[in-house]
Structure 1
Amino acid sequence: MISFHNFSFQYQKLTEPTLRNINLDIRPGEKILIAGPSGSGKSTLAHCINGLIPFTYEGKLEGTMTLHGESTTGKSIFEISQSVGTILQDLDGQFIGLSVGEDVAFSFENDGVPRAQMKQEVERALTTVNMLDYIDQSPHDLSGGQKQRVSLAGILSTQADILLFDEPLANLDPASGKQAMKMIDDIHQQTNKTIIIIEHRIEDVLEQLIDRIVVMSEGEIQAIGTPDEILSSDILRKHGLREPLYIEALKYAGCELSAADELTQLHHINVPKFENALTSWYNAGTASTSSPSKQPLLDVQNVRFSYDGEHEVIRGVSFQVQTGEIVALLGNNGAGKSTLSHLIMGIVRQSSGEIRLQGEEIRNWSIRKRGEQIGYVMQNPNQMITQHMIWDEVALGLTIRGVSKETIDAKVEHILRICGLYPYRNWPISALSYGQKKRVTIAAVLAMEPKLIILDEPTAGQDYKHYTEFMEFIAELARTGLSFIFITHDMHLALEYTDSAVVISGGEVIANDKVASVLTNAEVIERANLKETSLSVLARVIGLPSAEGFVQHFINYEKQVKHHE
Structure 2
Amino acid sequence: MKKKVIHFDNFTFKYRSQAEPTLLNINLSIYEGEKILIVGPSGSGKSTLAHCINGLVPFSYKGESQGSLTINGKETKDLNIFSISKMVGTVLQDPDGQFIGLSVGEDIAFALENDCVPQQLMAEQVETVSELVDMKEYLGSSIHQLSGGQKQRVALGGVMVDQVDILLFDEPLANLDPATGKHAIALIDRIQKETNTTVIIIEHRLEDVLHRDVDRIIVMNEGRIVSDSSPDELLASDVLETNHIREPLYVKALKYAGCSITKDMRPAHIETLNIETTKKKLIDWFEMTPPSENREETRPILAVENLSFRYEKGRDTLNGISFSIAKGEMISIVGKNGAGKSTLSKLICGFEKGHSGKILFDGKDITNDTIRERAERIGMVLQNPNQMISKHMIIDEVGLGLKLRGVSEVEIKERVEKTLHICGLYPFRNWPISALSFGQKKRVTIASILVLQPDILILDEPTAGQDFRHYTDIMEFLVELNRQGVTIIMVTHDMHLMLEYTPRTIVIANGTILADDASARILSDENVIERANLKETSLIELAVQAGIESPQEFVTRFIAFDKEVRRTWQ
Q: Give the Cα–Cα distance (whole angstroms) in 2 for the partners of residues 474 and 28 of structure 1.
A: 45
Match of 1:364 among 333, 355, 368: 368
1:390: how far off?
A: 5.8
SS in 2 for 1:311: coil
Whole-Å Cα distance in 2 between the matches of residues 105 and 384 of structure 1? 35
Which of the residues 220, 224, 244 maps onto 1:220?
224
- Give the drift of 1:452: 1.4
The SS at the match of 1:268 is coil
Match of 1:294 among 295, 298, 305: 298
1:74 Cα deviation after fit: 2.3
Q: 1:361-408: per-residue Cα shift (whole Å, max 9, x none)?
A: 111111122223222223344544444566654443344334536347
The answer to whether the 8 Å contact 1:148/1:171 transfers is no
Q: Which residue of 2 aligns with 1:8?
A: 12
Supply the AA of the counterpart residue of 2:7. S
Change (3 A) 1:383 1:103: farther
In structure 1, distance between residues paired with 2:24 and 2:433: 24
- How many Å separate the matches in 1 of 2:440 and 2:54? 22
2:353 paired with 1:346: no
Q: Given residue 164 of structure 1, which amino acid in structure 2 is its aligned partner?
A: L
How far off its partner does 1:424 sit?
10
1:413 to 1:11, Cα distance in 2 relative to 1, 3 A: farther
**1:319 has 2:317 as partner:** no
**Which consecutive unaligned segments of at least 5 residues does structure 2 have?**
none
SS for the counterpart of 2:276 is helix
TM-score normalised according to structure 1 size: 0.94
Residue 252 of structure 2 corresponds to residue 248 of structure 1: yes
Say which of 451, 470, 477 aligns to 1:473: 477
Task: From 370, 379, 383, give the equivalent of 1:379.
Answer: 383
Question: After superposition, where does 1:31-430 map in structure 2 within 5 Å?
Answer: 31-132=35-136, 134-387=138-391, 392-403=396-407, 404=409, 406-407=413-414, 410=417, 413-414=420-421, 417=424, 422=428, 425-428=431-434
Closer, same or farther in 2 for the Cα pair 1:123/1:443, shift >3 Å?
farther
**What secondary structure is seen at the aligned counterpart in 2 of 1:16?**
coil
SS of the equivalent of 2:78 reads coil
Distance 1:390 1:549, change over 3 A: same
CA distance in structure 2 between the aligned counterparts of 1:379 and 1:517, rounded to whole angstroms? 27
Question: Residues 392 and 432 of structure 2 are in contact (CA less than 8 Å); yes or no, is this contact kept in structure 1?
Answer: no
Q: Give the SS at the match of 2:524.
A: coil
Within 1, Cα distance between the matches of 2:447 and 2:167? Answer: 35
**Aligned letter for 1:113?**
V
Q: Deviations over 1:499-520 (max 9, x none)?
A: 2000111111111111011101
Flag the 1:69–1:134 CA change in 2: closer, same or farther, 3 A.
Answer: same
- Relative to structure 1, the CA distance from residue 505 to residue 270 in structure 2 (aligned partners, 3 Å threshold; closer, same or farther) is same
Change (3 A) 1:325 1:124: farther
Q: Which amino acid aligns with 2:472?
A: T
Q: State the Cα distance separating 1:176 from its structure 2 match.
A: 0.5
Corresponding residue to 1:553 among 552, 557, 569: 557
- The answer to whether the 8 A contact 2:210-2:269 is kept is no
Structure-2 change in CA distance of 1:131 and 1:390 (3 Å): farther
The alpha carbon displacement at 1:143 in A equals 4.2
Whether the 8 Å contact between 2:398 and 2:416 is mirrored in structure 1 is no
Identify the residue that residue 484 of structure 1 maps to in structure 2: 488
Asked if the contact 2:335/2:508 (under 8 Å) is kept, the reply is: yes
Q: Residue 120 of structure 2 aligns to a residue in which SS?
A: helix
Matches of 1:104 and 1:425, distance apart in 2: 44
Deviation (angstroms), 1:294: 1.5
Query: Could you tell me how far 1:300 is from its partner in structure 2?
Result: 0.9
State the 1:82 CA deviation: 0.8
SS state at 1:478 partner: helix
Post-superposition offset of 1:306: 2.0
Query: Is the partner of 2:515 in helix, strand or coil?
Result: strand
| Structure 1 runs not aligned, ≥5 long | none
SS in structure 2 at match of 1:338: helix
Q: CA deviation at 1:138?
A: 4.3
Q: Residues 39 and 202 of structure 2 are in contact (CA less than 8 Å); yes or no, is this contact kept in structure 1?
A: yes
Q: Could you tell me how far 1:416 is from its partner in structure 2?
A: 6.3
Contact 2:149–2:184 (8 Å) recurs in 1 = no
Which one is further off, 552-561 or 399-408?
Answer: 399-408
Query: Post-superposition shift, 1:115?
Result: 2.5
Note closer, same or farther for the CA distance 1:466–1:12 as it changes in structure 2 (3 Å cut): same
1:24 alignment partner, one of 18, 25, 28: 28
| Shift in Å, 1:323 | 1.5
Compare 126-135 and 297-306 and name the one that shifted more: 126-135
**Contact 1:40–1:217 under 8 Å retained in 2:** yes
Deviation at 1:31, TM superposition (A): 0.8
Contact 2:423–2:477 under 8 Å retained in 1:
no
Residue 285 of structure 1: CA displacement?
A: 2.9
In structure 2, what is the Cα distance between the partners aligned to 1:95 and 1:391? 37
197-206 vs 537-546, which deviates more?
537-546
Paired position in structure 2 for 1:527: 531
RMSD value, Cα? 2.4
Structure 1 window deviating more from structure 2 (170-179 vs 126-135): it is: 126-135
CA displacement, residues 293-326 of structure 1 (integer Å, 9 cap, x when unaligned): 1221111112112223312221211111221211
Return the letter of the residue paired with 2:211. Answer: E
Answer whether contact 1:418 1:473 (CA < 8 A) is retained. no
* Contact 1:418–1:469 (CA under 8 A) maintained in structure 2: no
CA pair 8-503 structure 1, distance change in 2 beyond 3 A: same
Residues 322 and 132 (structure 1), Cα distance of their counterparts in 2 relative to 1, 3 Å cut: farther
Q: Could you report, residue by residue, the CA deviation over 1:73-126 in whole angstroms, capped at 9, with x for unpaired residues?
A: 121010111111111123332222233332222111112222233334334434
Alignment partner of 1:428: what SS? helix
Bigger CA drift: 144-153 or 502-511? 144-153
Instruction: Quote the residue 1:451 is aligned against.
Output: 455
